[in-house]
Chains A and B, each alone.
Chain A
């Protein structure tokens, strides 16, 4: 387990979309999956976590449906919608573009300029 990092603005949404794209999950499941994939390095504030989920649902990118959890309780499972898929693709490209650009700039050495 490395150093914990805070998420920049808007990153949580795309992570949720990604988590859900792998298969339907309930809210807590999404949280666990993100933490698991990140190798427990992300600190997600649970209070603001649902705000992000609701916003994604409002925009019609994810869709909630009531189902049964692994321990037989009623839980709301979210899955990616068609427009959500498109959104995820767009956002992913934007993120990697930005990451590349930022990384490129940060790695620049004086003689290369």
Chain B
């Protein structure tokens, strides 16, 4: 068979069908006539000749069919007929169609949604070139506890660049700046990038270009690349923005490019508004920051991570030798692919969700199988007739499979339509669990996935009934009436399917119960502070403006400045109290630091979270003082010699002693550099004045870690943060707070990102992940329950219709209504019981696995009992409802029923 001519021939046969048919018929007619003429010339009568010619040539009405068979199109014609027949029978049974298509649409839609989410988040989240080879270098403790990243000096960065295992190196540093030149100054997040950014990240700019090596010339060109969102916000997406200037900190920058929407560099330390060449940093900042390069490493393709770790570890240890103050004594370096934090946070979540949507899909498929089988019982007669007039078994199987595929593809189309929306749902419910770069869109792999899924579903749920129904018992079925009394042979398969469905549903229900219980527990957790009506707002001091800086650089000036602002804010009507707190807002608060305990028994490195706060902090957040007192305003200004600890720290170090008046010191608290300023004895010994109750400081779901509170004047940054408690909605006071700040210093901005503590809690990653789990599992298990009940309902209904005559006989012989009810419902009752037993068994088996995956989800017997009871109750209703119909039929009618 030659390929190209065949295709051409098929194309003609399909595209010009009527012409080809006509020609084939004409050719046939010509042959017939010529043959008949010859026969006449051989001496036959014309009538005889016509008859013989017809007999020799075969039936007159099928030449075009013969033609299509000869060229090999017959199979397609038959398939087409099967599809048309399938569609027709779908339209003829709307009840069946709706239930079957919806079952599959839900299953396929949910599975496709989950797959596209996994694709977007785990398989392909970053738009960067070779993103699987981009690494975060992390500094770990010797035991492997992750500590932090590190920033390098320019010289160190250049030394790192020479490492053999590194293909290329990106350096970046974020900062704050102000947009000037417009009406009101506006805060922007700035990201300085090494000038190889364009090639390293490999994301083409949406408009113009990215940052390129030529931008490093002459100590950095004054050019700026805009983030998509900033471009939308600030320039309303104006495409003519390239070439215009943007004034940042009173200097003009030429806009050279806009990045595409998917470019959200760098989400780990905050997505920036504008990107600048890093060479500029040394000019625009005074005094300069030395450690200004946070590295991202692209390792060479053929280098193993372990080899790269080993090489870089040696280099970084050399850095530590040269600058010991920046590193802990013992550490090791480990490269971490940039995807890892998300995999850890989200990977298990998504796998679990995928598993549960697959369960839902399985339930949906089982539902379709059940419907097909049940309906097939009623179609026995049709198949028997087909088979009696010569249809092969394969032909019937094929027809049933095509019908199943028609259903599953209808379901897939509907499912695909809803899947986009379903996929967005988790991202909206828990935005902080996903990389901001991941964009969900229907693409080729996802489309292929759902089509494959539809095909698989069609085969899976269609084959089971097809195999069973394609072997009709001819003699019995054709005789007709017997089937209505004798039990169908397909019952065992039906029971198996129902039991399986019930088992899977129970599994989903118990999981949902556990997850929801866990979430409710989290909501009830005692935080140790009161987030309601508290706002956090910050100010960034103008440390790069020598005029402003002169007065607030010295310690006394800075304290006075901060205190003055604090008092002005506190004076706003409706604001009840204001405290200064640096990086101290729960539920993730404090700066990890070493702590030394006087007469401390332990040698191991002891760690605590340090908080720099003003004395009003505890009252503002409603934190309970358990023992002792809080430092006075005078002690606050002095900064030294005092500390307050939390209950955990007191318990850990002075379990059997009175913590008050114990001594401790924080050896790392030594302000260095021109922008930081500390008190004289900031790293000296401090006396514990009081003990406060634990506040969740390591995430909502985790127990508090030891903390030390010291006056904020001990160690001052060039910024300050305020906790502001208000009457009513806290953010409503933001305008008044701004005005209060400006009454102290007219050009002092309140930084972007002031937020309400309660809202922050709601968008917290852990909290929102738990909520995501609860909502999705609740949703999925409800769907599963509904699908299973629909399956049960239809099985009982079908069997009631089938057995009407049997019921008539039973009633005529004196069976009571309750007996009939029981007979009708018992079709499914046993399967339900078996299913529940199987579900419980599976549940017990995988409980431990699930508990580990869902971070201590609470699999108490409560949720198990509850889920089982719910399922039993719903099943009873689903069985009894159609069974009631059986019991209410009049016996005479039932006997007459056909």
Contacts and interface: CB of A to CB of B under 8 A. Distances in A.
A in complex with B: yes
Interface of A: 26-28, 46-47, 50-52, 54-55, 57-60, 66, 69, 71, 73-76, 83
B71 A58 contact: yes
Given A51-B70, A55-B71, A26 B30 contact: yes
Contacts of A27: 27, 30-31
A-B residue pairs, 10 tightest by C-beta: A60-B5, A54-B70, A47-B58, A51-B70, A58-B71, A58-B9, A28-B34, A28-B31, A46-B56, A76-B27
B889 to A, nearest CB: 57
A42 to B, nearest CB: 14
- Which of A46, A54, A58, A74 has its CB near the most chain B CB atoms (within 10 A)? A58
B66 A51 contact: yes
A59 B5 contact: yes
24 contacts: A26-B27, A27-B30, A28-B30, A46-B31, A46-B58, A50-B27, A50-B28, A50-B63, A50-B70, A51-B69, A52-B70, A58-B1, A58-B9, A58-B71, A59-B6, A60-B2, A60-B5, A60-B6, A60-B8, A66-B23, A71-B34, A71-B37, A73-B33, A76-B30
Given A46-B58, A50-B31, 7 more contacts: A28-B34, A28-B35, A46-B56, A54-B70, A55-B71, A58-B70, A60-B5
B475 interface: no
Contacts of A46: 31, 35, 56-58
Interface residues of B, number: 27
B1 to A, nearest CB: 6
A69 B34 contact: yes
Contacts of A66: 23
A54 B27 CA distance: 12
B324 interface: no
A92 B472 CA distance: 50
A54 B9 CA distance: 10
Given A27-B31, A74-B30, A54 B1 contact: no
A58 B58 contact: no
Given A28-B35, A51-B66, A76-B27, A58 B6 contact: yes
Contacts of A59: 1-2, 5-6
Contact of A54 (B8, B34, B67): B67
A26 B67 CA distance: 16
A54 B30 contact: no
Contacts of A76: 23, 26-27, 30
B354 to A, nearest CB: 47
Contacts of B70: 50-52, 54-55, 58
A16 B9 CA distance: 19
B39 to A, nearest CB: 12
Contacts of B75: none
A57 B9 contact: yes
A30 B30 CA distance: 13
Nearest to A59: B2
A74 B31 CA distance: 11
Interface of B: 1-2, 4-6, 8-9, 23, 26-28, 30-31, 33-35, 37, 56-58, 63, 66-67, 69-72
Contact of B5 (A26, A47, A58, A74): A58
A89 to B, nearest CB: 15
Contact of A75 (B1, B30, B71): B30
Contacts of A58: 1, 5-6, 9, 70-72
A30 to B, nearest CB: 10
Contact of A60 (B4, B30, B67): B4
Contacts of A71: 34, 37
A55 B71 CA distance: 6
Nearest to A44: B56
Contacts of B66: 50-51, 54
Contacts of A73: 30, 33
B847 to A, nearest CB: 63
Nearest to B5: A60
A50 B56 CA distance: 12
A58 B9 CA distance: 6
A51 B2 CA distance: 17
Contact of A83 (B2, B6, B23, B27): B2
Contacts of A51: 66, 69-70
Contacts of A60: 2, 4-6, 8-9
Contacts of B57: 46-47
Nearest to A32: B38
Nearest to A50: B66
A57 B68 CA distance: 12
A74 B67 contact: no
B71 A54 contact: yes
A4 to B, nearest CB: 15
B1 A69 contact: no
Contacts of A75: 27, 30
B264 to A, nearest CB: 57
Contacts of B37: 71
A50 B35 CA distance: 14
B315 to A, nearest CB: 69
A26 B35 CA distance: 12
Contacts of B31: 26-28, 46, 50
Contact of B26 (A28, A47, A55, A74): A74
Nearest to A27: B31
Nearest to A51: B70
Contacts of B30: 26-28, 69, 73-76
B24 to A, nearest CB: 8
Contacts of A57: 9, 71
B143 to A, nearest CB: 74
A76 B6 CA distance: 20
Contacts of B35: 28, 46
B141 to A, nearest CB: 75
Contacts of A74: 26, 30
A83 B28 CA distance: 26
Nearest to B10: A58
A47 B55 CA distance: 9
Contacts of A50: 27-28, 31, 63, 66-67, 70
Contacts of B72: 58
B656 to A, nearest CB: 97
Nearest to B53: A46
A98 B37 CA distance: 39
Contacts of A55: 70-71
A73 B34 CA distance: 10
A73 B71 CA distance: 26
A51 B68 CA distance: 9
Nearest to A83: B2
Contacts of B63: 50
A71 B57 CA distance: 21
A66 B27 CA distance: 10
Nearest to A52: B70
B892 to A, nearest CB: 58
A6 to B, nearest CB: 16
Contacts of A69: 30, 34
A26 B29 CA distance: 12
Contacts of B26: 74, 76
B240 to A, nearest CB: 58
A55 B28 CA distance: 16
A47 B31 CA distance: 11
B410 to A, nearest CB: 34
A75 B35 CA distance: 13
A54 B31 CA distance: 15
Nearest to A75: B30
A24 B1 CA distance: 23
Contacts of B1: 58-59
Nearest to B67: A54
Contacts of B33: 73
B473 to A, nearest CB: 37
A57 to B, nearest CB: 7
A64 to B, nearest CB: 8
A86 to B, nearest CB: 11
Nearest to B2: A59
